[in-house]
Structure 1
Amino acid sequence: MKKILVGFIAMVMIFSFVSVVFAGGKQEAKGTTALPIKTTSMDDLIAKAKKEGVLVSYGLPDDWVNYGGIMKIMKDKYGIKDMDTDMGSGTIISTLKSEKNAPVADSTDLGFNFATVITADGLSQPYKNQHWNEIPDYAKDPNGLWSAAYWGTIAFTVNTDIVKNIPKTWADLLKPEYKNMVCIKDPRESGTANMMVLAAAYANGGSVDNVRPGIEYFKKLKKAGNIKPVRPSTSAIQKGEAPIALFWDFDGLSKKYSLGMDSLKIVIPQDGTVAGMYIQFITAGAPHPYAARLLIETEYSDAGQIEYAKGFVHPIRKSVKLPAELAAKFPPAEDYKVVSFVKDASVLGKAAKEIAKEWDEVAAIQ
């Protein structure tokens, strides 16, 4: 999920808002009839969503950041059934475009780098949930066309049965003791690996505007013989074939608890790393607009944010207090102080292209 695409600048349709909290617009898709979307209160929204009774989503399988828990709320509390088709981000974008004249999906979830595509191509409609003011400005479109409900960060997943001296920084990974231990994916094929290189760039004096330090870092890591030619899959980790895996902290935590591997320790590199946000929105021609709005409300509610945390991602709303038992499963909060947020989706897209192009230099090292 979440491959990088580059959009073009286009005019975005202007929608009218019917209230401050329940900001609605109109369904407008070429060849369809514009239907007014109006709600006067949360109770009114719930009643209308219940009447629709169904929600169609793309790319929200139960095991992706615990969407199963969020959809359970929709079903148990409101009687709304979810019909999801799992697909990658690139496929979601192309499908939404191809279905613009006959919309099917109501809602989806994409990486932050797709925000510019969503707005430029008019693939969403505005809606501001009840907790809109709690969402940081960099994590939402000012007009309500999208917002990010959660985030993760690039981390080290270390198998302590194999690695006795736990690395705490990117600099540590360059040490001879980690020879043939570090497992990564290819940044030319994986959005996660692409962010991994960006994280290394930040740790070595770079930024989203200067990714070169990340490329140079991995050239050093490969020359040192520390990169093991094994992809950090669930199977490889379970078999002990991936002593140190570099990917999202939520991936590592999920594997730790789903596999029952207490030996896995998730480390936030203390010389710097980056966060990756994921955005949610209501599709431009959502056939079930009220159910889609109720899903957004559920995702950003206290209960919804906690469900996301059960999928080991971080709620965007800082006011949400996690149950002590759940919070204890994450690395210490102070470890996350080194995390940097990329706040411009268009710049992130440019950085991703540059990383993919320059990775050939790393791949060429024997």
Structure 2
Amino acid sequence: MKFSKLTSGSVAAALVVALAIPVIQSSPANAARDFSKVTSAGQAGGLAGLEAECRKEGQLNVIALPLYWANYGDMIDGFKKRYGVKIDEANPEGSSQEEIDAAVTNKGTKRSPDVFDLGLAVAVKYLNTGTYAPYKVRTWNNLTGAKTVDPTGQITPNYTGTMTIGYSGTLGTITKLDDLLDPKFKGKIALNGDPLGSSAAMNGIYMINKALGGTFDDVSKGVAFFKKLKDAGNFINVNPTQATIASGQTPVVIDNGYLQAGVVKEFAKIGKVWKMFTPASVGSTYNSAISAWAPHPACARLWMEYTLGEIGADVWAQGGATPTLWVHLLKTNRATAAAKASIGKSKIVAEAATPAQTAAARAYLKTAWPAAVGTN
């Protein structure tokens, strides 16, 4: 599942005021154009052509986008206000694999997702299978990693972050991994999702494993540590959410740092403290893609242009995620002060596993993980 962005205000709304919105008129060319085959804005009559057709479609279907995750609440609101279309938000706590499953299950219906937000391992798994509609946004050449992740434009890296351990300040201060074995953490430690389908969960295991001297090629040390936590009664098979954190059900959460930063802010508003401990620098980049079966193909492409453009990059940055457009924005002095205040002027790149390493790790975890900690 995806979990934690909590910011106030709408950056997207503010930027809309600053940017002129062109007057859109439909044209006969639009009527004859097959937007499900369009691979760039240029083929769609530019953004004006995409917008005109999207307004006709009237809706965009997104999936697995919690409002508190990487500032997606503001992202969704900004898109709706700018283009005047409805957004259907399915299964906000879903995993990357569940996004693909939903598209396959609902193929050919108006309920099928239009766009995806996927962890790298799942995204790459479905490359060249006919699952995605290739599309290169106008900023594609300026997106870090776009050309190396997938030069065909089936998937596009969008934002990244570093894993960390977030926890309630009432539990003291964590300075080393073995602190988590203390009886005071009994029934309190949760991992974001199932590592067999969740990138966040997989990266959580990688982080622990690396801190213990393990490598991306062998995660056994990380699994053994989680088994210790389970045997001590400290690890719980509960997917952490905004609600479980607020209620105190999951006062220790292993998840993306940009999500934990949101909890820090929200806790501060009510006089509470949420701390973070990062035993090793591990992370990964998420990826945007358009479903090959998108029922609203123009809106899907317009969403890609919006989120992977300057407005979307600013929204993600203010949510604590580092957009792949960030380096370009810094070089061109186009990064906003609010974004720089949120994620800093530079970016420390966390180590990331390759898709092949993750596939091998998941093959091992298929039996090793349930044996170590059980199942959700």
* Residues 16-27 of structure 1 aligned to structure 2 (within 5 Å): none
How far apart are the structure 1 equivalents of 2:202 and 2:52? 43
**Structure 1 residues 213 and 293, CA gap change in structure 2 (3 angstroms):** same
Match of 1:143 in 2: 152
Is structure 2 residue 179 aligned with structure 1 residue 180?
no
Q: List runs of 5+ in structure 2 lacking aligned partners.
A: 3-33
1:277 to 278, 282, 285: 285
Relative to the length of structure 1, the TM-score reads 0.73
In structure 1, the residue matched to 2:139 is 131
8 A Cα contact 1:62 1:69, kept in partner: no
Q: Which residue of 1 aligns with 2:171?
A: 163
Please say if residues 153 and 339 of structure 1, whose CA atoms lie closer than 8 Å, have aligned partners that are also in contact: yes
User: Per the alignment, in what secondary structure is the counterpart of residue 124 of structure 1?
Assistant: coil
TM-score between the two structures when normalised by the length of structure 2: 0.71
Conserved 8 A contact 2:188-2:234: yes
Among 227, 236, 248, the alignment partner of 2:234 is 227
Q: Tell whether 2:219 aligns with 1:204.
A: no
**Aligned letter for 1:37?**
V
Q: 1:75 to 1:208 in 2, by over 3 A?
A: same
Contact in 1 for aligned 2:168/2:274 (Cα 8 Å): yes
2:117 to 109, 114, 119: 109
Taking the TM superposition and a 5 Å limit, the aligned residue runs for 1:321-360 are: 323-325=336-338, 327-328=340-341, 337=348, 339-342=350-353, 344-360=354-370
CA distance in 2: counterparts of 1:328 and 1:316, whole angstroms: 17
CA distance in 2, matches of 1:227, 1:358: 19
Partner residue of 1:245?
253
Residues in 2 aligned to 1:47 and 1:310: alpha-carbon distance in whole angstroms: 27
Q: What is the number of residues matched between the two proteins?
A: 326
1:84 match: 89
Aligned-residue Cα RMSD (Å) equals 3.6
Q: Which runs of 5+ in 1 are unaligned?
A: 3-32
For residues 38-92 of structure 1, the C-alpha deviation after alignment (integer angstroms, 9 at most, x for no partner) is 7674993222222221342230546143333223333333444433333634443
1:56 to 56, 60, 75: 60
2:74 to 69, 72, 86: 69
Q: Distance in 2 between matches of 1:221 and 1:95?
A: 34
Instruction: Tell me which amino acid in the other structure corresponds to 2:350.
Output: V
Q: 2:305 aligns to what?
A: 297
| 1:312 positional shift | 3.2
State the percentage of identical aligned residues. Answer: 22
1 CA distance for matches of 2:66 and 2:289?
A: 18
Cα distance change of structure 1 residues 184 and 293 upon mapping to structure 2, 3 Å threshold: same
Q: Quote the residue 2:48 is aligned against.
A: 47
- Kept in 1, the 8 Å contact 2:161–2:350? The answer is no
Deviations 1:181-230 (A, max 9, x none): 8512474687233331121112222222111111122234456x482548
Cα 1:71–1:359 shift into 2, 3 Å:
closer
User: Which letter does structure 2 place at the counterpart of 1:349?
Assistant: A
Report SS of the residue matched to 1:51: helix
Q: Which moved more, 1:142-151 or 1:234-243?
A: 234-243
Q: 2: CA distance between counterparts of 1:222 and 1:360?
A: 11
Q: Which has the higher helix share?
A: 2
44 and 187 in structure 1: CA distance in 2 versus 1, 3 angstrom threshold: closer
- Alpha-carbon displacement from aligned partner over 1:115-167 (angstroms, at most 9, x marks no partner): 1333142111211222223333377311110012112332111222x133x22
- Give the C-alpha shift of residue 237 in structure 1: 3.2
In structure 2, relative to structure 1, the CA distance for the partners of 1:318 and 1:262 (3 Å cut) is: farther
One-letter amino acid of the structure 2 residue matched with residue 276 of structure 1 = S
How far is 1:244 from its partner?
3.0
Q: Distance in 2 between matches of 1:86 and 1:80?
A: 19
